Amino acid sequence: MKSIEAIRADFPILQREINGLPLAYLDNAATSQKPLAVLQAMDDYYRLRNANVHRGVHTLSEEATTLYEGARGRIARFINAPSSKQVIFTRNATEAVNLVAYSWGLDTLKPGDEVLITQMEHHANIVPWQLITERTGATLRYVPLDPQGMLRLDLLNELLTERTRLFAFVAMSNVLGTINPVAELVARAHGVGALALVDGAQSVPHLPVDVQALNCDFLVFSGHKMCGPTGSGVLYGRRELLERMPPFMGGGDMIREVRLDGSRWNTLPWKFEAGTPAIAEVIGLGAAVDYLTGLGMEWAQQREHALVRYAMEQLERVEGLRILGPGPEQRGGAVAFTLGEIHPHDTAAILDAEGIAIRAGHHCAQPIHDFYGIAASARASFYFYNTFEEIDRLVMALDKVHSVLGI
Amino acid sequence: MDALYREAILDHYKYPRHKGHLDNPDVSYFDHNPFCGDEITLELKIEHGVVVEAAFDGRGCAISQASASMMTEEIIGKPLEELKGWTKDDILDLLGIEIGPVRLKCALLPLKALKAGVWGIDDSDA
Ligand SMILES: Cc1ncc(COP(=O)(O)O)c(C=O)c1O
């Protein structure tokens, strides 16, 4: 196993200083940093092989296509998809949810149908369903939270009915850190004949995910939160569903044949990839997946678990600090908190002066904050490259926030 | 310490001036910043077109609350005509700091409330 120092050396940005102090990057739930291997894969593509994919017969185009499709295969293996045809590239998790909403949702949902989501969703898994249920006359329902930041699964019997067409839920909350029992929730959805969409934006980067074991119908995630570049995202879907779904966007690459009186669609996965894709970014995501596989996702999960457990212990000692969400056993690496009456923006600004990057705001999950009756929270979120010393610095800086702003 | 939290700002944040409510204000205006949750209610008493009393109430970050405190202190005794011409620079001069684009919204919330509240005031009794 590589040492943490060696792993950190793979990430050039982690050598940076902010305000004269070493950067402590604790905003990984927003986006992760990128290892050299990813930067080099993209650089190599642009320097040596840049060409459009699926089009030319010249050498560069073939090399680019091989790299692009090779990345698809690696990502399919990473999530244990039965076939790489079930891995569709999107810009990000948000676009992947929208793809399902506009393709499957518009085509399927009718008045009387229900879509069930939860109160802990990121806006990316709320707003598309609000838009689509409004347009189709279907009803949107929510699984509420309990005060510990867990889903009220005791209400699932009432909420999940034969009217439910889809249960879309987050595998790991980006605010509460809560890890939901995905396989169990998928089975419950299937039990009433509904499909299950899993928002894996926070789970795929942080723990082993096996779509066959979860048995989900759709899984969405973003490359940029898992060491890959922005602009790379994935929709995994069950084969029969993807085959039946109409295209999301029309254009080049997604067609087999275009005549003036109509067109025929390309096969999977290209049916859903209209236009020139984010070639360099997908190649970068392929390199990111190789990097993560090299470290081992089980190892990454354990490392983060140790960091989170330590962070929660230490944070609890900070005066007035209240952590949102469950204890370390039920959560991943995102720890949102409030600090007495101190506004999270002030907390984050004072931490920034100490070289520590955390996020402040509602983290694109306003319903969670409404539930707790707060406008915003501060959030520290970890990745495997973070250190226990960075957590010590975080805690010391939070004490400083008190001494500067304490009233 | 961070230049953003210079002494004067912290002083106004911790010991806000004119915080509270006026009896029978001529202007009372609530405004908020949904992205970060800063809130302020600005109240004014106007006589002959001049602000004679000002108060604010609110919650939010140090920058928004210090800005409200400094602004209420500053506008008392000033004619509305002059205040309508105030811009972000007037507020930044009061705060005495440079502010990046994200926090600027916090700093300018009180001015926004002032302008929205004053706009449409019937100050014909002036
Ligand atoms: C749980 C969850 N879902 C979805 C998203 C949306 O990701 P993106 O903005 O990359 O589409 C995020 C990103 O913050 C997230 O944390």
Could you give the CA distance from residue B50 to residue B45 in angstroms, rounded to a whole number? 8
pLDDT at residue A406 is higher than 90? no
Backbone CA torsion sign across A152, A157, A163, A166: positive
Is B1's CB within 8 Å of A349's CB?
no
* Contact: B35, A353; criterion CB under 8 Å: no
pLDDT of residue B120 exceeding 90: no
Position B101 in a domain: yes
The pTM of the full predicted model, rounded to 2 decimals, is 0.93
pLDDT at site A262: 86
In a domain, B17, yes or no: yes
Six token digits for residue A99: 């793809």
Q: Which of A343, A353, A405 sits opposite B60 (nearest CB)?
A: A343
The stretch A232-258 carries a mean pLDDT of 93
* Ligand 1: centre distance to CA B41 (Å): 34
Torsion of CA B114, B116, B117, B120, to 10 degrees: 130
Could you tell me if residue B69 is inside a domain?
yes
Torsion, Cα of A251, A252, A255, A256 (10° steps): 150
DSSP A334-368: EEEEEETTB-HHHHHHHHHHTTEE-EEE-TT-HHH
Question: How many degrees, rounded to 5, is the angle at CA A151 between CA A146 and CA A156?
Answer: 115
How close is the Cα of A93 to the center of ligand 1, in Å? Answer: 6
Q: Kindly state whether residue B18 falls inside one of the protein's structural domains.
A: yes
Q: Model confidence at A192, in pLDDT bands (50, 70, 90)? A: very high
Count of domains forming chain B? 1
Partners of B29 in the beta sheet?
A: B42
Residue in B1, B4, B37 closest to A375 by CB: B37
The residue of chain A nearest to residue B39, with distances taken between CA atoms, is: A375
The residue type found at B53 is E
pLDDT (tens digit, 9 = 90+) per residue, A338-368? 999 899 999 999 999 999 999 998 889 999 9
Q: What's the rounded mean pLDDT across residues A312-321?
A: 95
Tell me which chain A residue has its CA closest to the CA of residue B9. Answer: A405
Q: Which domain holds residue B59?
A: 2-119
Note whether residue B124 is domain-resident: no
Which candidate from B14, B59, B106 shows the least CB-CB separation from A345? B106
Does any domain span residue B126? no
pLDDT digits (tens, 9 = 90+) for A201-244: 999 999 999 999 999 999 999 999 999 999 999 999 999 999 99
Domains of chain A and any CATH numbers: 4-30+297-405 (3.90.1150.10), 39-293 (3.40.640.10)
Q: Name which residue sits closest to atom 12 of ligand 1, judged by CA.
A: A201
Q: What is the CATH number of the domain that holds B24?
A: 3.90.1010.10
Two structure tokens written together for A296:
């081992």
> Which residues of A carry out catalysis?
364
Question: What is the mean predicted confidence (pLDDT) over A249-261?
Answer: 87
Q: Cβ < 6 Å from ligand 1: which residues?
A: A 29, 92-94, 122, 124-125, 170, 174, 199, 201-202, 222, 364
Distance between CA atoms of residues A209 and A80, nearest Å: 8
